[in-house]
Amino acid sequence: MMPRQFHRKSRFGCTECKKLRIKCDEIEPICGRCLRTRSNCYYPRQAARNTNASDETGPPWTAARHLSAPPQPPSSFDLLDMTLMHHYATDTCKHLFMGSWQVQLWQYDIPALAASHVVLLHGILAVTAIHYAGRENATPAQRDLCATRSLHHHSLSLPRFQAMVASASAETAPVIVAYAVLLGLWVYAFPQVAADENDDEHQSLGDILTMIQAMRGARAVLNLYRDAITQSPMRVFVTNPPPSPFLLSPEKFEDDDRVSRVRQALYYLRDQVLHHESDKDAAQQLQIYLDRYVAKGPGHNNRLAAAWIARVGDDYWARLRGGQPHAVLVFAYSALLVRASEHECWWMSGWSERIMRACRREVMSSSLERHGIATAAAAAAAIDWVWHEHQIRAGADGLVDVVRSMQAGGASSG
């Protein structure tokens, strides 16, 4: 039996997790458990690390270890920040989420909140720096500068977010949710500027899930203050997905074989391949999000690609983090929705391939460990990975064609 390839981990967890003798995910400056329980998260080496501006913010951002944040005083801003804020107001705010109501939110409502909550200003600048680095005429030096500045604002905003969560109230709940959304955008977008091609090619499933963990923790905050948030402009992020539009209006999908094939593949996955109820529930949720995406059309629900993994059940999430092969397979199928969103959502760019590569490696290594299979090819066959990967890629390409056809139809009718 070949030994399991373990992911590189830090040797130290936070004091709270150590005290309780439980495994710490080691996300800094606040780990996932402390974020969920609103505990005081402290790392013994944290004080020493904070004096060194060249240190990274923690395990999720290992690809950025060559970057160092400039030694600016907390919440100080300079001419580059002014440039980034101008870019946000004139460009970035219009390309975070599609739809006129989203533009209203991010162009007017969020900056109004940021005027009195610096955590949002740092969050805005962290995301905008990545968007600004993506300009066609940006030089490598400018991209590196933007990546460094993005990491700087992220490292300043995350501890403030932690403090807000610890003392959250109905009044601050919209700010907490707004920053949580910005944090999710940053998590998805940062690999575009932080990782070189080799780093991105070899990103593990553990690396990806550690990054996503921050969004999972923010979900608890959103649920806790749902009533207050529904009375604020952030209410667009607390609505639950409705029952499957296919069940409500099956004729909407019956005319398109590409959508039908995707649905059949997901039905087969859920009913014939999966056995654990949490895996089946996650697959069903994915089906609902896919149906909703196609029913609403492009430009309305591109946030659904990120929302699914943030909302899956804790049992499924634990199985996925544990590398259970069928849980990993369900996550691989989420590339269907991610792929359909990438062409209209800059911060999702490249994620479908990251997910597929990482899941393939995890399924193979898991099969090798669990079954003692001697070759990678046989490991993939244990879960028929080749067949599933073909279904995912073919289905994703079909959904992209559907979405683009809907976009073209909308443009011609307009």
> How much is the pLDDT for 24?
82
Cα dihedral across residues 409, 403, 179, 149: positive or negative: negative
pLDDT, mean of each 10-residue run, the chain (414 residues): 43 76 73 69 55 40 42 69 96 86 88 94 97 92 93 92 83 89 89 65 81 72 82 76 42 61 85 91 90 66 73 92 92 88 83 90 70 51 81 84 66 50
Query: Which element (helix H / strand E) includes 294?
Result: helix 277-296
> How much is the pLDDT for 370?
55
Helices (H) and strands (E) in the chain, counts: 24, 0
Report pTM: 0.72
Amino acid at 107: Q
Whose structure tokens read 């019956």? Answer: 254
Residue among 403, 399, 185 at smallest CA distance from 287 = 399
**What is the distance between the alpha carbons of residues 276 and 278, in angstroms, rounded to a whole number?**
6
Residue among 93, 70, 87, 73 at smallest CA distance from 150 = 70
Q: How far is CA 301 from CA 51, 97, 236, 266, 311, in A?
A: 42, 8, 11, 20, 15
Task: Spell out the long-range contacts of 280-288 with Cβ–Cβ below 8 A and sequence spacing 24 or more.
Answer: 281/312, 281/313, 281/316, 282/312, 282/313, 282/316, 282/327, 282/330, 283/330, 283/333, 285/241, 285/311, 285/312, 286/330, 286/333, 286/334, 286/336, 286/337, 287/244, 287/263, 288/241, 288/243, 288/244
Query: So where are the chain's domains?
Result: 53-69+77-237, 245-413
What are the φ/ψ torsions at residue 31 (nearest 5 degrees)?
-75, 165
Cα dihedral across residues 266, 187, 402, 239: positive or negative: positive
Residue among 277, 362, 284 at smallest CA distance from 325 = 362
